[in-house]
């Protein structure tokens, strides 16, 4: 890769943070409280990465606006206030972000989380100061629409050729392709490796340590 590839955009859930169990638990609780039919855990995991409303409409395509609104409210209550399911950073996430920042790269987050949810975990992990810009699904179209990436590049003055998206779902990689941005897939998150490879990322890696090695080999440190 060229010296200009200096904007690195990360998905959050399933890429930097192991939050699948917490998200699934909050979805289950919200569904129970809304009185809708249960969905299997695989279906709940599959929609991680989409914006919250888009995810819930995917789960309940025949639901009413009122039911979707209630699901959103219940889910946010559990995620932000009442659920304490552990959601640690994946091994190597903290070191990778700090190292890339120290090397001078622009770092960003493009996530299916809402703003309140992302701000909460950025504060909890003390990583917020290392990201130059973040974009959430309640501020832009949900993945795989390219708007979040386009907004990030516009804000930071970067071109698609200078940018890289890293994510664990096909929604992340499709968003990158729709924005004309190169991508890396990570196989330890939500979507299986075959789905990621079908999106033609530059590579599909099995850990954040492998991501760090790939980045050190394939991008030139900023001056």
- 170-179 and 147-156 helices, crossing angle to 10°: 60
Q: How far is CA 214 from CA 40, 107, 126, in A?
A: 35, 16, 25
Find the catalytic residue in 13, 151, 162, 168. Answer: 13
The answer to whether 117 and 79 are in contact (CB under 8 A) is yes
Residue 11 among the catalytic residues: yes
The answer to whether 197 and 204 are in contact (CB under 8 A) is yes
HSE-up of 68 (CA within 13 Å, CB side)?
Answer: 15
Residue 168 among the catalytic residues: no
Residues with active-site annotation: 11, 13
């Amino acid at each position: 890769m060229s010296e200009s590839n200096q904007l690195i955009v990360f998905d959050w859930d399933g890429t930097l943070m192991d939050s699948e169990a917490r998200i699934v638990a909050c979805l289950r609780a919200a569904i129970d409280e809304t009185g809708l039919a249960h969905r299997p855990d695989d279906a709940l995991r599959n929609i991680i990465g989409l914006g919250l409303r888009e995810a819930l409409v995917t789960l309940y395509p025949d639901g009413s606006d009122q039911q979707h609104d209630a699901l959103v409210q219940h889910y946010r209550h559990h995620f932000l206030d009442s659920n304490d399911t552990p959601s640690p950073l994946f091994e190597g996430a903290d070191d990778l972000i700090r190292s890339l920042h120290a090397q001078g790269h622009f770092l960003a987050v493009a996530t299916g989380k809402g703003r309140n949810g992302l701000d909460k975990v950025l504060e909890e992990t003390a990583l917020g100061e290392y990201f130059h810009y973040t974009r959430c699904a309640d501020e832009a179209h949900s993945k795989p629409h390219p708007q979040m990436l386009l907004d990030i590049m516009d804000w930071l003055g970067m071109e698609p050729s200078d940018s890289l998206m890293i994510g664990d779902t096909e929604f992340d990689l499709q968003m990158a392709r729709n924005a004309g941005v190169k991508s890396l897939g990570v196989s330890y998150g939500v979507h299986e490796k075959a789905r990621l490879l079908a999106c033609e990322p530059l590579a599909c890696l099995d850990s954040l340590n492998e991501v760090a090695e790939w980045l050190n080999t394939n991008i030139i440190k900023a001056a």
